[in-house]
Amino acid sequence: MDAVNTPEQKPDWKESVFNRRTMICIFTGFASGMPLYVLFQLLPAYLRAEGVGLKEIGLFALVTFPYTWKFMWAPLMDRYIPPFLGRRRGWMLITQVALLGSIAGLGMFDPTLSIMTIAYLATAVALFSASQDIVLDAYRRELLPDQELGWGNSVHVQAYRISGLVPGALGLILADILPWSSVFMIIAGFMVVGVAMTFAVKEPITEPRAPKTLKQAITEPFHEFVTRLGWRGALLILCFMFLYKLGDNMATALSTPFYIDLGFTLTEIGVIAKASALWASVVGGILGGLWMIKLGINRALWIFGVVQVVTILGFAVLAEAGPDKVILAVVISLEYLGVGLGTAAFTAFIARSTNVAFAATQFALFTALAALPRTFVNALTGYIVDAIGWNLFFYLCALLALPGMLLLVKVAPWNDSKAE
């Protein structure tokens, strides 16, 4: 394991970029993102292809409630240590094996006959995925020195997004030639990547001691956060975390049904809409991480946030153009580039807002709050689209992205060097 840099050490960008920690962040991103994209890309396509309505598919966003409430059991994963592999790696293995089984089970039932059974299984996938996120986020926060938070989280986020090509591209292509049950089993097998990582890495050198009591594990992270920032500062930070990705989350909530409604085939969606994003994700991740080393997290939030708002409007252009393959490729590529940059800076901001001694619970609280719109607001997207149409829906999403940008004046001022 690489030695963690002390505050006195100021490595150049090459030392911050080319190290083993960067490679670990690639694997944490892939393992973390893959289950979520199963729920947000492969499962909606499965339900729509089998004749389930948009309203019902939109309501499936509610099964992701564990991402919103994961801070409730994060203290348990801080307090209790599995009897194998250590505190972080032990919980990684438990959640990854559970994900492998639950994802495989999604394709074993007919949506027209067993829609509630699929909903229960999808909730289980979300529960195990959110639990894996708790431990992976804590592991990454303890692994990365402060000067690498921007780069490391950028790598993690881009690997997270690229992992969507497995259920969103490969899964849809396979669905044209294989039964859905086989598709879900094959996609579930990719969780072996996370299991292999768990066995290959070591517990972080900077890992703090486990809390002595469950009460301490629950109360201390919240007390420290409010004490450090004050009530007003803490509330501003929490409001920003809720609003910054609101428009983006809504715009992509029903992306796969949107492409289907425009008239694209499943293979076209898999090859063009998903695979065309690969180069943009890689370029966005590299540039975003390197820019954050130079710019700092605050300025990255401003610049990448503006790009994020603009790329949302690309969906409105696509809605006007119809099933044009070239426009689809351009819009999705820009979305992955722009929104990916915004997510990378946002995740780095969340990591910086945590205290490493309470990484698991604080990171879980912050990311859960950021996932709140994705869980509850997204459940209404099907109704909104039915009421106003796809075009106006995407303009609304761009408008809802602006309040989070305005809060940057308070929570991440452009010229605030102290926070960096």
Note whether 157 and 340 are within 8 A (CB). yes
| Residue 419 domain flag | no
Note whether 49 and 62 are within 8 A (CB). no
Note whether 356 and 141 are within 8 A (CB). yes
Give the span between the Cα atoms of 351 and 277, in whole angstroms. Answer: 26
**Does 112 score more than 60 pLDDT?**
yes
| Residue 321 domain flag | yes
- Nearest alpha-carbon partner for 344 in 409, 289, 416, 412: 289
**Does 189 score more than 90 pLDDT?**
yes
**Does 2 score more than 50 pLDDT?**
no
Cα 52 vs. chain centroid, distance in angstroms? 26
**pLDDT tens-digit series, residues 332-368:** 888 777 766 777 788 888 888 888 777 788 888 887 7
Note whether 394 and 316 are within 8 A (CB). yes
| Residue 337 domain flag | yes
Q: Could you tell me the CATH number of the domain that includes residue 99?
A: 1.20.1250.20
Maximum separation of any 2 CA atoms in the chain, in Å: 62
**Does 51 score more than 80 pLDDT?**
no
| Residue 53 domain flag | yes
Cα 303 vs. chain centroid, distance in angstroms? 20
- For the segment 219-241, the average pLDDT, to the nearest whole number, is 86
Give the span between the Cα atoms of 206 and 235, in whole angstroms. Answer: 29
| Residue 370 domain flag | yes
Give the span between the Cα atoms of 103 and 125, in whole angstroms. Answer: 6
CB atoms within 10 A of CB 391: 15
CB atoms within 10 A of CB 273: 26
Residue 361's domain spans which residues?
13-408
Q: What is the pLDDT of residue 103?
A: 93
Rounded to 5, what percent of the chain is helix, strand, coil?
Answer: 80, 0, 20
- For the segment 185-193, the average pLDDT, to the nearest whole number, is 93
Give the span between the Cα atoms of 87 and 210, in whole angstroms. Answer: 8
**Does 24 score more than 80 pLDDT?**
yes
pLDDT band at 297 (very low <50, low <70, confident <90, very high): confident
β strands within 75-153, DSSP E: none
- For the segment 225-237, the average pLDDT, to the nearest whole number, is 86
- For the segment 32-48, the average pLDDT, to the nearest whole number, is 87
Q: Which two tokens stand for residue 378?
A: 């997204």
Give the span between the Cα atoms of 144 and 33, in whole angstroms. Answer: 19
Q: Which two tokens stand for residue 49?
A: 């292809």
Q: Which two tokens stand for residue 316?
A: 């409105």
Give the span between the Cα atoms of 240 and 369, in whole angstroms. Answer: 10
Give the span between the Cα atoms of 98 and 93, in whole angstroms. Answer: 9
Which phi and psi (to 5°) does residue 288 adopt?
-60, -45
Q: How many domains does the chain have?
A: 1
| Residue 245 domain flag | yes
Q: What is the pLDDT of residue 6?
A: 43
Q: What is the pLDDT of residue 192?
A: 93
At a CB cut-off of 8 Å and minimum separation 6, what does 282 contact?
158, 162
**pLDDT tens-digit series, residues 82-97:** 988 888 899 999 999 9
pLDDT band at 7 (very low <50, low <70, confident <90, very high): very low
Q: Is residue 177 helix, strand or coil?
A: coil
Q: What is the pLDDT of residue 86?
A: 85
| 112-126, 280-294, 330-344, 404-418: which is most confident | 112-126
**Does 397 score more than 50 pLDDT?**
yes
Average pLDDT, the chain: 82
| Residue 4 domain flag | no
| Residue 417 domain flag | no
Q: What is the pLDDT of residue 415?
A: 76
